[in-house]
Structure 1
Amino acid sequence: MRVGLFIPCYVNAIYPHVGIATYQLLTALGHDVVYPLNQTCCGQPMANAGYQYQAKNLARRFEELFEGFDVIVGPSASCVAFVKENYGHILAGEHRCQTPGRVRDVIEFLHDDLKVSSLPSRFPYRVSIHNSCHGVRELHLSTPSERNLPYMNKIRNLLELVEGIEVVEPERIDECCGFGGMYAIEEPEVSACMGRDKVKDHMSTGAAYITGSDSSCLMHMQGVIDREHYPIQTIHAIEILAANL
């Protein structure tokens, strides 16, 4: 399978090791992984702020860069969800819009497409899963708490393949961390308060790490942790799954 590696701009700028871990794990699983050069933003911040015209140009660019790949995989639930859920509307009438049906969050890809059942990884720590809003309600990485359905969590299923790990989840299992992209800029006080509440909820599990599929949420909570000197850290789930490779 020929995989196009989609590394969102903030991952590239702030968390390049998350992109490297994604590449290492996918290649270790035997896939031909290509990172198209000169990637730009997928357009999510512009579209969310009401500038859909600017997002349209970026969506066209994304379509061109990832043409010809069997699947497009990225370590960011929110960016993947934006492409999957919005490109069809943004590029309406343009017959070449092909990426929404081929883009996957890396957790989604490993769990649903590859059906990974074993990993050579070891991570001897207790970790608390952060279920991000986009991941839960647009990519269905876990069951939304507001629905009366049996609980399922794809991040947990994959993490439990890792040797030595103890996986827990907070009491308010999928409450928002307060980041929300533009929301954190427009309502910084409320966003920061939500972030503190969420980190404390994770800390109540006794975990050493908060993990999840969205670096933006983890970035927001790490900012709270650094400011308040809380005794916990954040780590992307793919870094755990690729540990010791």
Structure 2
Amino acid sequence: METLSALLALLAGLDAALIQAVADHGDLVYALICLTIYAETAFVVTVFLPGGTLVFTAAALAARGTLDVWPVALGCYAAATLGDMTNFAIGRALRRGAARGAGGGLAGTLRKRLLPPQQLEAARRAFARHGAATVLLSRFVPILRAAFPMAVAMAGMGWGRFIGLNALGKVIWAAVFVGGGYGLGGIPWFARHFGAVVVAAALFPLLIAAARQLLMHLLDRRCRPENQSSPKTP
């Protein structure tokens, strides 16, 4: 609970932190934003970084004149694209290593450490069900954001197809977060309640994911045979 409270406090004060960073470091803030976006998915273990929220906040500050919107938009697009490509490259390397070692050895250990089996399976199920649309939209889903590029690489997707889908997906992602933040950032009510709006926006995907899991669990229980008795022993 303490970790969650600290994270929510960070999100609520993200605009003030960025404003102070601009005052202290000037244009270096653009590099810091891009590095955060890149690291969020490039290395899996840094998925906790507030990538989308940071982009949204930076775009909102651009609407108020604190930042320039074009470096935010283009830099975040490039950083997100390169981050997922790095994640994909790691997945390809682990797939080759696991194949040579029959799933064991260093590659197998790293694969399990970086991408838990449940995340890998969730990404594979999503891709099997929705195909290319999952590559386009995976960055919007907290569970899939860091797992999906590596998962599809391990599943055997080639570089050509991934690069095309990844580039298009990041156009959609950047348009939503940069466009949304910039469009709302100049509205006085939004500026006054920025912290609460950002926290709500960050929690919304998690609530949707939790509601979906609960619904699937209830449907699964309902579909099970009501009378499942264990086999009788003679």
Same fold (TM over 0.5): no
Q: TM-score range by the shorter chain?
A: 0.3 to 0.5
Provide TM-score, normalisation by structure 2.
0.32
Higher strand share: 1
- Counting helix residues as a fraction of each chain, which structure ranks higher? 2
Q: Which has the higher contact order (CA 8 A, sep 6+)?
A: 2
For the pair shown, the structure with the greater C-alpha radius of gyration is 2
